[in-house]
Structure 1
Amino acid sequence: MDEWVRQAEVWVGQAERWIRQQPPEQVYVAVAVVAVTVLLLVAVSCLKSSKANTIVLSGLSGSGKTILFYQLRDGSTHQGTVTSMEQNNDTFVLHSELERRGKVKPVHVVDVPGHARLKPKLDEVLPQAAGIVYVVDAQDFLSTMHAAAEYLYDILTKATVVKKRVPVLIFCNKTDKVTAHSKEFIKKQLEKELYNKVTVTEGAGLTGNVSAVEEFIREYVKA
C-alpha cells in the first residue's frame, strides 16, 4: 500500500510541474476538454441505463393477462383462471430462454389489472414501456368487443404511446377453445371499431402457447 501511495505522489508531482510549465490558456483548454468528455460519458451512460425494457400486459379483466405473465416467467399458469386484482411486476429471463440465462437480457414485465377502477395504474408504467401486449379473450370476444376496442383505443391515444411510438401487439388468448373466434375475425372487428390497422396474433395462455408474445418481446427488448 505504501508503495502505491509513493507512486501516486510521484505522479501528482509530475502533473503539477507539467501544469506550471504550460501557458494558462492551454491549461484552461485542457480542463475544458476533460470536463466536456466526462459530461458526455455520463450522459451516454444515463441514456443507456434508462433505455426502456418494460413490457406492459394490458386488457380487460378476465382476458388472461395474469396467466400470460406466469407463462412468460415460469412456464405455468399458477393460479389458473382466477382474475387478479393486483398488479404483477417482475424482472426475469423468459422461461423459454432459461437455458441462455446470462446471455440474454432480462425483461421487466408488468401485468396491469383490467378492472375499471385500476386502469389508471396503466399511466404509471407506460413511460417505461418498450412494448404493450393487449390481451383479448377470443372465446368471449363478441360480448366484450366494444369494451375491448374502447380500452384499446384509449391506450393507442395515450400521449406517451403516441409520442414514443410504443409498439402494441394484440394477443388473442384462449384460441385453444372450440368456441373461440379466429384472430382474423377479431382483427377485422377491431379495425371496424377503431378505423385503423392493428397487429394481431393468437395463442393460449393456459396451454403455454405464448411464443408470439415472446417473439414480440425480443423484437423490442433486445437480448
Structure 2
Amino acid sequence: MDGLEQWTNQLQQWVHEAETWVHQIPASQLYAALCALFLTTAFLLLIHLKRFYVYNILGNGICQKKNLFFLLIFLSCLIIAVRLFKRTQSNTIVLAGLSASGKTVLFYQLRDGSSHQGTVTSMDPNEGSFVLHSESTKKGKIKPVHVVDVPGHSRLRPKLDEYLPQAAGLVFVVDAVEFLSNCRAAAEYLYDILTKASVVKRKIPLLILCNKTDKVTAHTKEFIRKQLEKEIDKLRASRTTVSAADIANEFTLGVTGEAFVFSHCHNKVTVAEASGLTGEISQVEQFIREHVKP
C-alpha cells in the first residue's frame, strides 16, 4: 500500500508540473499546437478509414479491428485537446499589493457585497470561486470567478508565484490616501511583478486599482500612474547591475533611451479607481469580466 500511495503522490506531482508548464505557454502557441495535433490525427484517421472502406468493398474485413484502434486514438487525442483548451481559459483573478492597501476588503465586496467592517492584515491567501455579488440576481448560468487575495507582506509575496501561472488577470491594489509614503515600495513590488517570466510570457493583463478614492485626501489615478512610472524608471537605472542569475529570470522593462511608461510593458496595464469600503468597485468588476467571460 505504501508503494501505491507513493506512486499516486508522484503521479499527482507530475500532473501538477505538467499543468503549470502548459499554463506558462502563450495561448497563441498552445492553440497552434492543439490545432496541429487535431489536424494530424484527423488526417491519419481519414487515411485508415479510406482503407477500411476499400477492404470492405473487396470483402475483406480483417482491418476492422485495426481501424477501430486508430479511431480510439483519435478520440483520445480529441478529449485531451478539449481538456487542455478548457484549462487555458482560466477564471482566476489575483489580487496583489502592499499590506493595508485594501485587498481583503475588495475580496469580500466582490464575493458578498460587504466590507465585513474592515479587515486586519492577512497572513494567508484568501481565495474562493464565486459569481460576483453584483451578478447574483442575474438570470441564466454565469461563470464563477476564482479570486485569490495574496498577502502583501514582503515575506509572504513569494506565494504570488504559485497563482500567476493560472491567472487570467492581475489586480494590483494601491492605497490612494497613503500613496506618497508608500510610492517607492509599491513601485518596487510592481516592478518585480512586471518583470516576472510568468507574467511577461503569458502577457497577463494588469489593473492598477487606486483604492479608497472615497476619501477627500485620496490622490487621483492619473497622479498615481505618473508617480509609479517615475519610480519604476528610477528602478530601471538602479537595477542594471543585477547578477547573471537574476537576468536569466527577469525581463527588462521599457524602451532604451526613453522614460518609462506603462504602455511600454509586454502586457497590457490599465489604471482604475475603487472604494472597497463603500462598495464602488464597478471598474474592477468590468476588468474581471473582460478577462473571465460570464
TM-score of the aligned structures, taking structure 1 as reference length? 0.86
Q: Is the partner of 1:69 in helix, strand or coil? A: helix
CA contact (8 A) 1:107 1:221 kept: yes
2:179 matches 1:137? no
**Match for 1:69: what amino acid?**
F
- In the other structure, the counterpart of 1:196 is 261
Deviations 1:59-94 (A, max 9, x none): 000100000000000001114142222211110000
Q: SS at 1:24's partner residue? A: coil
C-alpha distance in 2, partners of 1:58/1:37? 41
The whole-number CA distance in structure 1 between the counterparts of 2:193 and 2:60 is 61
AA of the residue aligned to 2:261: N
Distance in 2 between residues matched to 1:161 and 1:139, nearest whole Å: 28
> How is 1:31-50 mapped onto 2 (pairs within 5 angstroms)?
31-50=69-88
Instruction: Give the SS at the match of 1:55.
Output: strand
Q: Deviation digits for residues 178-217 of structure 1, max 9, x if unmatched?
A: 1110001001111222323141111111100111110000
Distance 2:174 2:282 in 1: 16
Distance in 1, matches of 2:139 and 2:122, equals: 29
Q: Does 1:28 align with 2:66?
A: yes
CA deviations over 1:133-158 (Å, ceiling 9, x no partner): 00000000000001001101111111
Contact 1:93-1:101 at 8 Å conserved across structures: no
Equivalence for 2:279: 208
**Letter matched to residue 116 of structure 1:** S
Q: What are the residue-to-residue correspondences of 1:1-223 with 2, within 5 Å?
A: 22-25=60-63, 27-100=65-138, 102-194=140-232, 195-197=260-262, 198-223=269-294
What secondary structure sits across from 2:136 in the alignment? Answer: helix
Distance 1:101 1:50, change over 3 A: farther
| Percent of paired sites with the same residue | 64
Moved more, 145-154 or 100-109: 100-109
Q: Distance in 2 between matches of 1:86 and 1:222?
A: 28
Q: Which has the larger radius of gyration?
A: 1
Length, aligned pairs only: 204
- Tell me, in whole angstroms, the C-alpha distance in 1 between the residues paired with 2:140 and 2:157: 34
Q: Note the residue ranges of structure 1 that are not aligned, 5 or more in a row.
A: 1-17
Letter in 2 for 1:196: V
Measured after TM superposition, the shift of residue 97 of structure 1 is: 0.2
Q: Give the match for residue 41 of structure 2.
A: none
How far, CA to CA, are the matches of 1:38 and 1:116 in structure 2?
45
Question: Structure 2 counterpart of 1:208, which letter?
Answer: G
Contact (CA 8 Å) 1:56, 1:112: kept in 2 or not? yes
Task: Give the Å deviation of 1:102.
Answer: 4.9
